[in-house]
Homo-oligomer: A and B are copies of this chain.
Amino acid sequence: MHLFTSKFVERPEYVRELSGSVTTPAGFKAAGVAAGIKRSGSPDMGLLLSTAPCTSAAMYTTNAAAAAPVKVCTEELSRGALRGVVVNSGSANACTGAQGLADARAMVKLAASAVGADPAGMAVASTGVIGTPLPMDGIEAGIYAAAAALSENGGGDFAAAIRTTDSLDKVGAVEVELSTGTVSIGACAKGAGMIAPSMATMLAFITTDVLIRADLLQETLLLAAGQSFNAVSVDGDMSTNDSLFMLASGGSGLAVEPGSGDYDRFAAAVNAVCKGLALKMVADGEGATKTVGLDVTGAADSGEAVRVARAVASSVLVRTAFYGRDANWGRIMASAGAALSGEAELDADIFFEDICLAKAGAAGPGQPPADRLREVMEQQEIAVTLALHRGHAGHAMYFSDLTHDYVTLNADYTT
């Protein structure tokens, strides 16, 4: 895949895209195998490992019904000293009670033992159907098979093993030119439905061979997630399993220090990679035909900007209108107004690309150019600006349209 195909993602000039994956940076091995969790027989067990101790960062869903693997990672493992991740698709190990916790812990121990690593550094993630117990026999065999298959070229297999309803692999790599040389970043993700602004039903894995302190890596990841994984919506539903991992092997021998120009370049590259993956999730959103980039400007404060952006992005009326290629700015105004319930009268402006459809809360000025508007509504990516005129804060979000195919997919996906 190509990380920078969306017009909403900018590639910094010192970043070059590679054909690669999580095993592109030096010091990583990965594998993906079929462990029989998915009835289809597709790959469903992945293993990612730094060949030597490394630094790490991680973020997890804050859902109060968080899945067992998320609980094990947040409560029992360190964020900063992970060395690998074992992950299965086909079953989320969520809402599985004490058995689920025991199973998640068993996955950690099995994976650590299979690769000869310390269990304290082996994270676990699951994705798939909620509420069914993991088939542990298959999982055990799968973990050993994955460990045996670990390879410096295994990033593609690993990416394939984490897919659920994704129609596209979400995998890529870049190299970043620093003053001291070149480092690389590899990444893959899964996610197409249950994608909400505060992390999606998504798993994402980012690797790099830069040498970086764990606390700085965590800060880098948090900032990047705010503008990428936490700024996309497919259906507004926050999942039980969202997890985002980043491992830095130091394999390039090149270090980045806080406040340096090289750190800024590295952080910008991580931002771009995360945003590229996140926009791929929106484009691959279940049933989606379009991506809308919504830029809320002029909010009273950043909390308000986020609230309004999320309200518009999760409005099913707004999202069906985009599916219908209907420039229905009134629905955007109504959902922004609902998010600002009780506040002063909304006198917002709304632009679709360069076309001003509403000025100071009402239609106009004048009739929009019909031909140009039709052209805009046919675009696969549409930039919408909602200027609130209430202050100076802003927030950008990216969401997909709501389509017949979304309903079909989610009415038929069985527990």
Contacts and interface: CB of A to CB of B under 8 A. Distances in A.
Interface of A: 62-66, 71, 92, 94-100, 129-133, 193-194, 196, 198, 235-240, 314-317, 320-321, 323-324, 326-331, 333-338, 340-346, 348, 358, 360-363, 402-404, 406-408, 410-415
25 contacts: A63-B341, A64-B336, A64-B343, A65-B334, A65-B361, A66-B345, A94-B334, A95-B333, A95-B363, A130-B333, A131-B330, A131-B362, A196-B338, A235-B316, A236-B316, A237-B338, A238-B334, A240-B337, A320-B407, A320-B411, A324-B410, A324-B412, A324-B413, A324-B414, A328-B414
Given A237-B316, A407-B323, A407-B402, A66 B337 contact: yes
Contacts of A129: 330
Contacts of A193: 317
Given A337-B240, A342-B62, A345-B66, A329 B415 contact: yes
Contacts of A341: 62-64, 198, 238
B97 A362 contact: yes
Contacts of A410: 316-317, 320-321, 324
A92 B406 CA distance: 30
A361 B407 contact: no
Contact of A334 (B130, B330, B345): B130
Contact of A131 (B100, B315, B316, B329): B329
A406 B320 CA distance: 9
B65 A316 contact: no
Given A198-B341, A326-B415, 15 more contacts: A63-B337, A64-B336, A65-B348, A96-B363, A97-B362, A100-B362, A131-B358, A131-B363, A198-B338, A235-B316, A316-B406, A320-B410, A320-B411, A321-B411, A324-B410
Contacts of A360: 97
A99 B361 CA distance: 12
Q: What 4 pairs across the A-B complex have the smallest Cβ distances?
A: A65-B337, A130-B330, A324-B411, A97-B362
Contact of A323 (B62, B327, B411): B411
Contacts of A198: 338, 341
A367 to B, nearest CB: 11
A323 B407 CA distance: 9
Nearest to A342: B62
Contact of A346 (B64, B328, B406): B64
Given A196-B338, A323-B407, A404-B408, A235 B95 contact: no
Given A237-B331, A316-B410, A415-B326, A64 B94 contact: no
Contacts of A96: 362-363
Q: Identify the interface centre among A65, A323, A329: most chain B CB within 10 Å of its CB.
A: A65
